[in-house]
Structure 1
Amino acid sequence: MNVLLADDETLMLQILKAYFVAEGFNVLLAQDGDEAIDLFYQHKVDLAILDWMMPKRSGIEVCQAMKKTSRVKVLLLTAKGDPDDEFHALQSGADDYLRKPFDPRILLIRAKKLLHLMAPTVIGDLTVDIEAQKIYRDGKDILATNKEFELMRYLVVNKGHIVTRKMLLDQVWGFDYFGEERTVDTHIRRLREKIGEHWIRTYRGMGYALEDHHE
C-alpha cells in the first residue's frame, strides 16, 4: 500500500518514513502542498498523512483537492489544539486528525485502522489476523512461525504487487541481515505448504506476489 507523508519538517518525514517502511508500506514523501498534490496525481495513494501548516498549500487545501477526485483516506497532523480546529479539519473531508507532538506508534495504529488493516484480512479460505499474529486456513490455525507470519503480513499489505527477495529480507529479517537471499525461497516454500500452493505466485527474476484469483 502507498502512504503519502507530507510535512515541511525533514526530520519528521524521515522518522515517520522509517516507521511505515518497517511495517511494509511503500512511502512517498512531500515537503509542501504542491509536491503532495503532484505525487497524488502520479501514484495510486491509499492514505495521505498531511501536515496542516505546509508551504504553498496547506494540508486542508491538499485534502480538499484530493477528496474532489478520489476516496483516498486522509489524516491531518497539526500543532493546533483548539477544538474548532479539529472540527474544521474533519469538516474539510479529513478522515482523522492527530495533534502534534505525537508518538509515531499511535500514528501507525490510526493509519492501519483507516486502511482496515487492524481487522483480520480474509482471502479465500485464509484469515490473517494481524493483531493476534496468526494465520488460519478454513478456520484452523496453521501454526505459522514468526518468520512465516511476517512474510505473510508483508505480502498481505502489498497484495497484488510483486515484492523482491531483497524487500522481504529487509522487512522480515532486518536491514542488517547479510545471509543468502535464497533463505526467502525456503520460508516461502514452507509457508505455501501450510496455506496452499496457489496463493503466492513466483515471478522469476523478480520476486513474489500474493494474489487472490477470486477477486
Structure 2
Amino acid sequence: MNILIADDEAQMVKILSAYFNKEGFNTILAKDGEEALNLFSSSKIDLAILDWMMPKVNGIDVCRYIKDNSNTKVLILTAKGENEDELEALNCGADEYVKKPFDPRILIMRAKKLLEFKDLLKISNLNIDIASKKVYKNEELLTLTKIEFELIKCFTINKGIILSREKLLDLVWGLEYEGDYRTVDTHIRRLRSKIGEEIIKTHRGLGYSLDGDFN
C-alpha cells in the first residue's frame, strides 16, 4: 500500500517514513502541499497523511482536492487543538484527525484502521498472520527466517505493486544496509522454495510482485 506523507518538518517526515516502512508500507514523501498534490496526481495513493500548516498549499486544501477526486483516505496532522479546528478538518472530508505531538505507533494503528488492514491474510494456499509473524501453507506452519517473513509481509501489504530490488532493500533490510541487490534475489529464491514458485512474480528489469488470489 502507498502512504503519502506530506509535512514541511523534514524530521517528522523521516520518522513517520521509517515507522511505516518498518511495517512494510511503501511511503511517498512530500515537503509541501504543492508537491503532495503532484505526487497524488502521478501515483496510486491508498492513504494521505497531511500536515495542516504546509507552505504553498495547506493540508486542508490538499485534503479537499483529494476527497473531491478520489476515494483515498486522508488523515490530517496538526498542532492546532481547538474543537473548531477539528470540525474544520473533518468538514473538508478528512477521515481522521491527529493532534501533535503524538506517538507514531498510535498513528500507525489509526492508519491501519482507516485502511481496514487485517493482521490475518490469505493468499492462494497461504495464511499469513502478521501479528504472530507466522505463515501457514495448507494449514502447515512454515519455517521462515526473519528476512523471509519480512519479505512475504512486504509483498502482501503491497499486493499488486511491483517492488524494485532497491525498494525491497529499503523496506526489508533498512536504509542503512550496504549490501548489493543480489541478496534480494537469493532470499526470494529461498522463500519461493517454501511458499511455492508461482506466488512471487518476477518482472524483468523492474522487480518483483506478489501474484495469487487474495482473500
Per-residue deviation at 1:96? Answer: 1.2
CA distance in 1, matches of 2:164, 2:86: 41
Give the conservation status (yes or no) of the 8 Å contact 1:117–1:130. no
Segment drifting more, 122-131 vs 61-70: 122-131
Instruction: Tell me, yes or no, if structure 1 residue 33 matches structure 2 residue 69.
Output: no
CA distance in 2, matches of 1:202, 1:35: 32
CA distance in 2, matches of 1:178, 1:77: 34
| CA distances 1:33-64 after superposition (whole Å, capped 9, x unpaired) | 23222221121111100111223333222111
CA distance in 2, matches of 1:180, 1:30: 28
Instruction: Give secondary structure in 2 for the equivalent of 1:44.
Output: coil
- CA pair 136-20 structure 1, distance change in 2 beyond 3 A: same
Listed as ranges, the gaps of 5+ residues in structure 1 are none
CA distance in 2, matches of 1:174, 1:65: 33
Give the conservation status (yes or no) of the 8 Å contact 1:9–1:31. yes
Aligned pairs for 1:117-128 (under 5 A) are 117-128=117-128
- CA pair 43-184 structure 1, distance change in 2 beyond 3 A: closer
CA distance in 1, matches of 2:6, 2:178: 33
Q: Percent identity?
A: 55
Listed as ranges, the gaps of 5+ residues in structure 2 are none
Q: Give the corresponding residue for 1:52.
A: 52
CA distance in 2, matches of 1:57, 1:180: 39
Segment drifting more, 41-50 vs 161-170: 161-170
Q: Give the corresponding residue for 2:163.
A: 163
- CA pair 118-197 structure 1, distance change in 2 beyond 3 A: same
Per-residue deviation at 1:199? Answer: 0.4
| CA distances 1:4-39 after superposition (whole Å, capped 9, x unpaired) | 111222222222223333333332222332322222
Q: Give the corresponding residue for 1:10.
A: 10
- CA pair 188-92 structure 1, distance change in 2 beyond 3 A: same
Per-residue deviation at 1:99? Answer: 0.7
CA distance in 2, matches of 1:142, 1:12: 38
Segment drifting more, 65-74 vs 79-88: 79-88
Q: In the comparison of the two structures, how many residue pairs are matched?
A: 215
Larger RCO: 1 or 2 (CA < 8 Å, sep 6+): 2
CA distance in 2, matches of 1:104, 1:23: 12
Per-residue deviation at 1:214? Answer: 7.4
CA distance in 2, matches of 1:214, 1:101: 37
Per-residue deviation at 1:179? Answer: 4.5
Per-residue deviation at 1:141? Answer: 2.3
Per-residue deviation at 1:149? Answer: 0.7
CA distance in 1, matches of 2:211, 2:89: 37
CA distance in 1, matches of 2:94, 2:4: 14
Give the conservation status (yes or no) of the 8 Å contact 2:2–2:158. no
Q: Give the corresponding residue for 1:189.
A: 189
Per-residue deviation at 1:76? Answer: 0.5
Q: Give the corresponding residue for 2:105.
A: 105
Give the conservation status (yes or no) of the 8 Å contact 2:49–2:74. yes
Instruction: Give secondary structure in 2 for the equivalent of 1:39.
Output: helix
Instruction: Give secondary structure in 2 for the equivalent of 1:63.
Output: helix
* Cα RMSD, aligned residues only: 2.4
Q: Give the corresponding residue for 2:82.
A: 82
Letter of the 2:120 counterpart: P
Instruction: Tell me, yes or no, if structure 1 residue 135 matches structure 2 residue 110.
Output: no
